[in-house]
Amino acid sequence: MTVNSRLLVCATLWAIVLGLAAESWAAAPSAEQALRLTPTQPNVDYAKPTPEQTAKCTISARKFNGKVGWVVEDEHGLTLRIFLDTNGDNVVDQWSYFQDGVEVYRDIDSDFNGKVDQCRWLHSAGTRWAEVKNEDGRITAWRQISAEEVTAEVVAALAAKDTERFALVALKPQEVQLLGLGPEKSEELSRKVAALAEEFAKLVARQAPLDPKTQWLHFSASQPGVVPAGTNGSTRDLRVYENTVAIVDSGGKHTQVHIGTLVQVGEGWRVIDIPHVPGDAQASPAKSGFFFHASMSARPTGQSGAPSETMLKLLDKLAALDQAGAEAKTEAQRAEYINQRVALLEQIAQQVGNQQERAVWLRQLADMMITACQQGLYPDGPKRLESLAEQLLKKEKDKELAGYVKYHQIMAEYAQAMQAPKADFAKIHTEWLKKLEQYVADYSPAATTGEAMLQLAMNQEYAAQDDEARKWYSRIIKEFPGSPAAQRATGALTRMDCVGKAIRISGKSTTGGTVDSAQLKGKVLVIHYWSTVADSAKSDVAVLKELQRRYGNALAIIGVNLDFDARAMNAFIAEHKVPWPQIYEPGGMDSRPAVDMGILTLPTIILVDAQGKVVSNSIQVAELDTALKKLIR
């Protein structure tokens, strides 16, 4: 559909949204008109009703977090489309497409000129977030893209012989500086990526043997690694995948495309190697990983050869099963999907000869089982996890992987017990803490031991056993330095011990730039860690607004929002007219602002006096007025 026809249909539909008289338009809009709109990007898998089904669809005006829009639903009330006016100018600027009632794709007009300039894939469709700066439908940059999706883009670029598409996921020389590498490694990488575009153009000009209809099937790699800050002069941690492979279906045959090394840049990943397609005699995979691994071609035979026929069939079954699982509607259907997927992952893990790759599959298996247990869909989960942990420990002597699985078993067992009818929550919780302590004693070298310690530390802090909590936090930092658990433990100790000390809170502002508490010295400061999902968000903001009105310029407030979705925060701020600056960085409770202060619960409010020293690290909203009266005279 052209831009003009898209705007015409949207304008007609807005007659309903704005409550205008139907007779002021040539024809009343219908669900059929709305369903004519299509995504600007190709190959989006979204609900497409048949003409018979379309006749039974309905369209209605709605409000979404204060934004006016309209929704198209099928005869069963399942959402098919939602189109919104997000800036109140009476023109649609956000088009959302759904599959099975879940949003999977969104077109965005962020500059409100009637043309799409951003595209997002959501939920089961992936994590991609693209920019379309020329507003012509052609993606110009990836704002966000996962490592798996990058390999799919490389395969698509090979199949279409599209050098521009490859360039969008290739590391650019100017991006090398963002990685924080030392001078020598930075110069080496800059030289390496400078010729990527030219070499890829030569590759596709040689008629590399990929069918134009090639389909990406699977991403294969060992677990990602970290090049830590300080390595050969580097200034920051760098996340890396070495020797990645994309398994594809090309012309009805399964094969693998060697993608090489991927590096993380911001919210996206980039390739630094030219892909290698079997049959291309003029090229071969890199002889070694750029950062820390031997290449696939350099590994012993049997570890890195092409997947066996059995393996490829199992991967095909997994892809088909996942597609069928996405369509599961009832709890019984979802439970059956879980059972089948567990069995299939176990078979795949048995087929993998490389121990590192096998560990990746078994970790995925453990992750899936605990999620299913938490959802009440897999009652056999704890027993299966316990059996797998014993096998890994006793037969295979792999204590690290056994520890990973055992930790998941303890957490799955706890989740299952808490869901039981007439559960004795206090008793279950006490027994769970004892099991975690025993786990720490039995699996002290395992990486997940740090996570277990963190659970123990947080529970001691919840129970107001601050000294015990400090011991656990300190032990995590000592035994697992640099780990995510250690980073959170460091933040928790900072928060617990900040009373009477000067602290500085800074972060990215929601309006651009930086919010910095150091700029507010001389005022009493309230730092409000919050989320729109917290029940008290609305009432807390109302109290803070009244306090700001009462105390005027003597009081400053900084909000630190920990929503996963910035849209929810922005809608809340607009609806409730929140006037003070907000810090927001992606990640929710795992974001940098949350981790830096070890935030455990929301809301958390820190009160700072006019000299910049913390008065309270956990004051309640209802206590603020009394405290402020003492600080502001």
**Residue 449's pLDDT is what?**
93
**Residue 15's pLDDT is what?**
41
Q: How far apart are the first and last CA of the chain?
A: 64
Q: Mean pLDDT for the chain? A: 86
Q: What is the pLDDT of residues 532-591, one digit of tens each?
A: 988 899 999 999 999 999 999 999 999 999 998 888 899 999 999 999 999 998 888 988
Q: What is the pLDDT of residues 507-549, one digit of tens each?
A: 999 888 899 999 998 999 999 999 998 889 999 999 999 999 9
Q: What is the pLDDT of residues 236-250, one digit of tens each?
A: 889 998 888 888 887
Which residue(s) pair with 60 in the sheet? 71
Q: What is the pLDDT of residues 368-378, one digit of tens each?
A: 898 889 888 99
Q: At what angle do helices 448-462 and 484-496 cross, to 10 degrees?
A: 20
Q: pLDDT over 70 for what percent of the chain?
A: 90
d(CA 336, CA 377): 9
Element spanning 156, H or E: helix 147-160
**Residue 233's pLDDT is what?**
85
d(CA 537, CA 545): 12
318-339 CB burial, b ≥16 within 10 A, e <16: beeeeeebeeeeeeeebbebbe
